[in-house]
Amino acid sequence: MADLKCTIAGIESINPFWLASAPPTDKKYNVVRAFEAGWGGVVWKTLGIDPPVINVSSRYGVHHDHKRRVMGINNIELITDRPLEVNLQEIREVREEWPDRVIIGSIMAPVEKHYWQDLARQVADAGVHGLELNLGCPHGMCERGMGSAIGQVPEMVEQVTRWVKEAVDIPVFTKLTPNITNILWSAEAAYKGGADAVSLINTVNSIISVDLDQMAPTPTVDGVGTHGGYCGSAVKPIALNMVAEIAKSPDTGNMHISGIGGITDWKDAVEFMTLGSNAVQVCTAAMVYGFRIVEDLIDGMSDWMDEKGYTSVAEFTGAAVPQVKDWNELNMNYDIKAVIDPDQCIECGRCHIACEDTSHQAILMKTREDGGKLFEVVDDECVGCNLCLHVCPVEGCISMKEVSAGKPALTWPEHPLNPMKQAAE
């Protein structure tokens, strides 16, 4: 079994799987259950300045797929609603009982130096391995000038990070909100403020559905609703892109990344890490299935590493980053065509109608001698878009074959039809 130990922001963890700051890490009872299940660390649910907040009922809305599996959860819950000292005492206890596991304290405060520094010192004194600055919550707390209200202003991100770094000598993770135009602005601000790592993404601002009887956004609270934070597998693509942008940016140094956003299985975790995450955080999948999913995260990643010959997670961390390019760097001479395997085809016609109605009319539907259907690719019309492959219900029935072997690479800036190139010549 491969070694899953990892180091992020100088903190060593038995595996890269931490629970994100959220309801699953709200109190000792949950955290102990998580450690028993095998999680390497937790980011404790965000601590604030007393008096504690008061939460509403109800709190979650869900986006289901056709089979009623949860694709995403939207929540309107605030930070911990328990007194600070209760949380700190429990943190102290768990730290003592589970010495090999990581506890990060997530904190949130109004934009005033003494609030952030006092809170940071109090939490650090409880023995946490590091602090995570919650600058991301897009609901509730932002209306009080906290959460994403701070995270959306790069100057404030830098300022808050700097205040906390000045106050404590443990690693600081700045947690970023995706509800911005350019993630690099806030990542660079965190870097300038001295952050040891960034955690991203926090939840995406959203209305998850409308209750058509109450005519109100869900989850409804006494007949009305509010926008909430969206998480779960549906946000994974958004998170992967933001992680990759930071990983490949020269302006964020070698700042570590704690990847968050819809990680549900080991493969998701591996993908985040290949795009530059040094460790990952999980929340929604645990909320949907319970802490036991960590078993699959652990042995799935380990087995994959054995197969690929990796002996440590560091060997593949960031491995995909060099291959993340700008569109202008893509080879325009690369050409692929769809190939349909008639032996695997079940004749549903989905590839044909998708191509015929919405793409390039490159798949003909013909009748075989025995009355069955035959789907035939017209290579001259096929642009290699992959749509047929993706809509086909039989994995492996449609593949794409390269037909451009031997042609030199050619990018758009070099392309003879690019008017900007002609102008430059």
Minimum CB distance to other proteins, residue 357 (Å)? 9
Kindly write down the DSSP assignment for every residue of 151-179, as one continuous string.
Answer: HT-HHHHHHHHHHHHHH-SS-EEEEPPS-
DSSP state of 380: T
Spell out the residues 6+ positions from residue 25 whose beta carbon is closer than 8 angstroms to its own: 19, 31, 34, 42, 43, 44, 45
Q: Does 209 bind other proteins (CB under 8 A)?
A: no
The shares of helix, strand and coil residues in the chain, as percent rounded to the nearest 5, are 35, 20, 40
User: Which residue in the list 137, 345, 351, 392 is annotated as catalytic?
Assistant: 137
Q: Does 353 bind other proteins (CB under 8 A)?
A: yes
Q: Does 349 bind other proteins (CB under 8 A)?
A: yes
137 in catalytic set = yes
Of 43, 73, 75, 80, residue with least CA distance to 57: 75
Among 29, 51, 54, 67, binds other proteins (CB under 8 A): 67
218 vs 74: CA distance, rounded Å: 9
Among 136, 217, 350, 384, binds other proteins (CB under 8 A): 350
In this chain, which stretch among 12-20, 246-254, 322-330, 348-356 interacts with other proteins, using CB under 8 A? 348-356
Among 45, 236, 256, 352, binds other proteins (CB under 8 A): 352
385 vs 192: CA distance, rounded Å: 41
Q: Tokens 């760097």 belong to which residue? A: 329
Minimum CB distance to other proteins, residue 351 (Å)? 9
Of 101, 32, 6, residue with least CA distance to 302: 6
In this chain, which stretch among 100-108, 295-303, 341-349, 404-412 interacts with other proteins, using CB under 8 A? 341-349
Q: Which residues pair with 13 in a beta bridge?
A: 6
Minimum CB distance to other proteins, residue 66 (Å)? 4
Q: Tokens 């008096």 belong to which residue? A: 51
Q: Does 369 bind other proteins (CB under 8 A)?
A: no
Q: Which of residues 297-336 bind other proteins (CB under 8 A)?
A: none
Q: Which amino acid, one-letter code, is at 41? A: G
Q: Does 393 bind other proteins (CB under 8 A)?
A: yes
Among 224, 394, 403, 409, binds other proteins (CB under 8 A): 394
Q: Does 346 bind other proteins (CB under 8 A)?
A: yes
Spatial contact of 209 and 219, defined as CB atoms under 8 Å apart: no
Q: What are phi and psi of 172, to 5 degrees?
A: -120, 125
In this chain, which stretch among 127-135, 250-258, 287-295, 342-350 interacts with other proteins, using CB under 8 A? 342-350
Residues taking part in catalysis: 137
What is the contact surface with other proteins in residues (CB under 8 A)? 66-68, 346-350, 352-353, 365, 373, 393-394
